[in-house]
Amino acid sequence: MKFYKLSPEKRRDFLQKQGIKLDQIDSQVLHNLDLLSENVIGQLRLPVGLVQDLLVNGQNYQVPMVTEEASVVAAANNGAGIVAKAGGFTASSQRDGIWGQIVMQVAENFEVSHLHDMLPVMIKKTNSHFASLVSHGGGVRKIELKQINDLLYVKVLVDPAEAMGANKVNSILELMADELENFSGIKQKLFAILSNYPSQVTTVRAAVPIDLIGGIETARKIVLLSRIGQDDPMRAVTNNKGIMNGVDAVLLATGNDTRAVEAACGVFASKTGTYTSLSEWRLENEKLVGKLSIPLPIGTVGGSINSRKDVRQNYRILGEKIAAEQLANIIAAIGLANNLAALLAISTKGIQAGHMKLQARNIVTSLDATAAEKKVVFQKIINNKKYSQSAGQEFLREIREENNASRN
């Protein structure tokens, strides 16, 4: 029997017979996971951290973040706390819909103008077929046509309502492609699939009095770093990675598609023809003013969101009835909060201290030691600035020798 047809237990048996040691997993958990993916043999756990006070458009949120990097959650809390003292973030989302793309090969005598009269009828017919989506406020919004030589490009804008909408958009496109294939002059369908090209863009802003970040010199340095990120792709990609640290962590926590957002953000950062920073900071009237615009094709229903208990718990933290637009505003605000914290760290004490603390955490986690011993080893690593596994082992040996000596 093929591997994918085996039960998850038999797949695990198959691996164990190869001499691979697998960690124990609850049988019910294993079967639940098997419903979500393919060839499931186990699970990978990640911690859920919390941003306690994110103020967006006058409303406070507690925001779950899924990441194994402690400094990402710490930075988000730091940046969010600073901005909260300044009155919070303001955010708005353009959620017109998701673009889908149908490409057909056409005959030499095909005239794209002949199709235009059909478009209103096609939109009406498609929306009638997907009445449930329309009843939730979504549906096909418009169709654009372009012919290049023997190829017809059909762009379809679909409003997915509160869902991410990928599967729904693809179903709509397949239906429309079948209709178009019957049109005179169309030879064959090449593909009909959604595009991850940037859409549903969210913009968030913050204005922070300079005394909240250490004064005018720190503010000027942050503005200079921001300008370098606008001009230099090498700096821009690292700046954007820091933004995506926060964005991805909330996307994971809310069951959204990190890959779609990452792909769209990559294109969005290059929209001028040169890769540049997604954020921008400037000085205005004794305030450090920041702006971040990113595409966020997200949802609060559909996909695996409703079927995953861990994700549903995160929505209870955020607010059960949170709308997709609100969530997009929150995610963008977290991204800008992380960006502010990173730029502030670079402008003052440097960013490496937080990273090395994370390294120390990873070292002590892997030690075969008690919780009390790990706590002491962690502090010794930080105090002595020795961040190797061998140093951790040596510190553990030292404290055990000290404890044994004190007993004797």
pLDDT 10s digits, 53-110: 999 999 999 999 999 999 999 999 999 999 999 999 999 999 888 999 999 999 988 8
Dihedral of alpha carbons 127, 133, 134, 139, sign: negative
Q: Are 161 and 87 spatial neighbours (Cβ–Cβ below 8 Å)?
A: no
pLDDT 10s digits, 179-194: 898 888 899 999 999 9
pLDDT category of residue 238 using cuts at 50, 70 and 90: very high
- The residue type at 70: A
Q: Across the chain, what does the average pLDDT equal?
A: 91
H helix and E strand count, the chain? 15, 10
CATH class assigned to 98-194: alpha beta
The whole-angstrom distance between residue 224's C-alpha and the CA centroid of its chain comes to 27
Identify the pLDDT of residue 383: 81
230 membership: H or E segment, kind and range: helix 216-231
When mean pLDDT is compared across 255-259, 293-297, 322-326, 385-389, the lowest value belongs to: 385-389
Q: Which two tokens stand for residue 12?
A: 């695990």
pLDDT category of residue 382 using cuts at 50, 70 and 90: confident
Give residue limits of the domains in the chain. Answer: 3-34, 48-94+200-350, 98-194, 355-407
pLDDT category of residue 366 using cuts at 50, 70 and 90: confident
- Catalytic pick from 129, 136, 287, 355? 355
- CB atoms inside a 10 Å sphere around CB 377: 24
Distances in Å between the Cα of 343 and the Cα atoms of 242, 249, 303, 324 are: 10, 19, 35, 29
Whole-angstrom Cα distance, residue 253 to residue 31?
A: 21
Environment class of 256 (CB within 10 Å of its CB; exposed 0-12, middle 13-18, buried 19+): buried
291 has catalytic annotation: no
When mean pLDDT is compared across 135-149, 321-335, 370-384, the lowest value belongs to: 370-384
178 has catalytic annotation: no
When mean pLDDT is compared across 2-6, 15-19, 150-154, 347-351, the lowest value belongs to: 347-351
- CB atoms inside a 10 Å sphere around CB 42: 15
257 has catalytic annotation: yes
- Catalytic pick from 159, 162, 248, 257? 257
Strands 90-93 and 151-159: unpaired
Query: Quick one: which of 18, 80, 12 has its CA closest to 49?
Result: 80
Neighbouring-strand partners of residue 64: 50
Distances in Å between the Cα of 168 and the Cα atoms of 79, 198, 325 are: 37, 18, 19
355 has catalytic annotation: yes
What average pLDDT does range 105-116 have in this prediction?
Answer: 87
| Sequential DSSP letters for 143-198 | EEEEEETTEEEEEEEEE-TTB--HHHHHHHHHHHHHHHTTSTTEEEEEEEEE--SS
- Catalytic pick from 124, 241, 271, 349? 241
Whole-angstrom Cα distance, residue 344 to residue 281?
A: 12
What average pLDDT does range 36-40 have in this prediction?
Answer: 94
What average pLDDT does range 134-142 have in this prediction?
Answer: 91
- The residue type at 221: K
Whole-angstrom Cα distance, residue 100 to residue 166?
A: 9
Structural fold of domain 48-94+200-350: 3.90.770
- The residue type at 376: V
pLDDT category of residue 219 using cuts at 50, 70 and 90: very high
394 or 169, which is more confident?
169
Predicted TM-score (pTM) of the model is 0.84
